[in-house]
Amino acid sequence: MTTRGSWGTRLGFILAAVGSAVGLGNLWRFPWMAADNGGSAFLVVYLAVIVLVGVPGLLAELVIGRRSNRSPVGALVSLADSDRWRAPGLLAVGTAVLLLSFYAVVGGWTLRYFLTSATGAYFAEPGAYFSGASSGLDAFAFALAFLALTGFVVYRGVDAGIERASKVMMPAILVLLVALAAWALTLPGAGAGVSFYLAFDLATLRANAFDILPAAAGQALFTLSLGCGTMLTYASYLSEDRSLPADATAIAVLNTLVGVLAGLVVFPLLFALGDGAGAGGPGAVFVSIAAAFATLPYGQVLGVVFFGVVLLAALSSSISMLEIPVAYLVEEREHSRHTAVAGLLSLFAVTSGVCAFFPAIFAFVSGTLVDLLLTTGLVGFLLFVGWVLGKDAVDEFRTGAGDFAGRLATPWLYAVAVVLPVFLLFTLVTGVLGALGVTVADVALGGVTVSGTTQLVGVAVLLALTAYATLRRPGSAV
Ligand code: PHE
């Protein structure tokens, strides 16, 4: 077996993990999801899920990764000492492959817009330009170029490739975004965008909380890169014992900060130039924002900077997606990193081609399917930590964590074992039914009306119990 890579410094790990988290999820998927789901109401639910589910879930992945020093499949199988855990590991690797297949297409759009902003190619007819660029041969060609850039960094390895690239990309993203937000907020009409985004809108929230929940939960997992083993894999390259709770908090805070900053660039632009958030959908950034640059002084320069930021963010995330199947092939299949990268790039040439040529498949994969798979994957990791690792997880959590954070370990374990899986299974069932267009009617049971929501919570509890009965390791703590 080849020697495993490892991070050179703690900052390197945090920047790489933040790089994974900050991506198209913040700059492209978030405005689209928020516009579709009620703006600030979506933001509230999403932030709540980040704090209550995202951070503990992130910690679960970090704990598995550092404890095992392996990538998802090997980590679960070796820690459980059972082959039964191979399937959830493989699901994570498969999800990462699917993610990168569509992500490369959007990455390709970004690369194209970055390059063509300088000449203002899309200025005359942003809508028509995007239709031409978003699917078909052109989209495919740019997706391949984007994949090649991603492959180049991953090929160079953990510290010489991923860490070094992250140390340049992340500070650049932050500085440029602050500058862009400062400028966007001065545009006339920007205020409407800010209030759509930040005004606390209780009425919409109350009326739609259950419809918003699956999308908000999916988006929260997506933006923190949870559920497909990215954070697990990155934590497996940690060699010293530092505080995982501190790292998880830093990652979530920085990611949220960039997300909010991105919103302060995107929404003022969308509103200042008249389209409003109604121009949502996958094209929001590429049509409405691109149109904004066309009408502004120095639009070309702004376009290059804006799409440059989006491109850097997309790359630092796609790198982390590619690293998962690469780590799997290197560790479990004993390929060299170089063959693994080359082989996977050929696979992605096909799968991203499918996404580039078939917009309907693209929309399904990048929206609903990803939400559902990441949620399923994270449930798997949480159940694993709660019911297989048990006390070992508490030990790993405490190692390097200090007294204060250490005291949170046991409550965290119970949340991870019981509360969060039930919650996520609930959003999963709601999401699947929503995608199928099924609504659950209230039923009367012996004179008592049981609401649809209560029935769904019941189903989630049953699913969790079934999982518990099949997966629990005898003697585990919970
Ligand atoms: N978090 C990344 C983004 O916001 C997407 C991602 C998901 C990356 C899962 C890795 C794994 O764009």
Give the dihedral sign, CA 441/446/450/456.
Answer: negative
**Per-residue model confidence as pLDDT tens digits over 371-423:** 889 999 999 999 999 999 999 999 999 999 989 889 999 999 999 999 999 99
For residue 18, report the distance from its CA to the centre of ligand 1, in Å: 10
Q: Which two tokens stand for residue 473?
A: 């390791």
For residue 194, report the distance from its CA to the centre of ligand 1, in Å: 25
Q: Where are the alpha helices (DSSP H) in 185-286?
A: 190-198, 202-223, 230-236, 244-272, 284
For residue 383, report the distance from its CA to the centre of ligand 1, in Å: 22
Please give the pLDDT value at position 1.
43
Distance from C-alpha of 210 to C-alpha of 46, rounded to nearest angstrom: 12
Share of the chain above pLDDT 70, in %: 96
Task: From 391, 429, 380, select the one nearest 413 (Cα to Cα).
Answer: 391
Closest ligand 1 atom, residue 22 Cα: 4
- Test site for ligand 1: of 98, 309, 317, 376, most ligand atoms within 8 A of the Cβ: 317
For residue 174, report the distance from its CA to the centre of ligand 1, in Å: 17
For residue 430, report the distance from its CA to the centre of ligand 1, in Å: 23
For residue 123, report the distance from its CA to the centre of ligand 1, in Å: 30
Please give the pLDDT value at position 3.
65
Closest ligand 1 atom, residue 28 Cα: 12
Nearest C-alpha to atom 9 of ligand 1 is from which residue?
225
Q: pLDDT grade, residue 469 (50/70/90)?
A: confident
Q: Are 374 and 214 in contact (CB under 8 A)?
A: no
Map out the domains of the chain with their CATH numbers: 10-358 (1.10.4160.10)
Nearest C-alpha to atom 7 of ligand 1 is from which residue?
225
**Per-residue model confidence as pLDDT tens digits over 163-219:** 999 999 999 999 999 999 998 888 888 888 888 777 777 777 777 777 788 788 888
What amino acid is encoded at 127 in this protein? G
Ligand 1 lining (C-beta closer than 6 Å): 20-21, 23-26, 99, 222-223, 225, 228, 230, 317, 320-321
Q: Where are the alpha helices (DSSP H) in 333-451?
A: 337-357, 359-364, 370-383, 391-398, 402-406, 409-414, 420-436
Nearest C-alpha to atom 11 of ligand 1 is from which residue?
225
Distance from C-alpha of 478 to C-alpha of 69, rounded to nearest angstrom: 24
For residue 46, report the distance from its CA to the centre of ligand 1, in Å: 15
450: β partners: 443
26: β partners: none
Distance from C-alpha of 65 to C-alpha of 232, rounded to nearest angstrom: 4
Q: Are 53 and 214 in contact (CB under 8 A)?
A: no
Distance from C-alpha of 292 to C-alpha of 242, rounded to nearest angstrom: 45
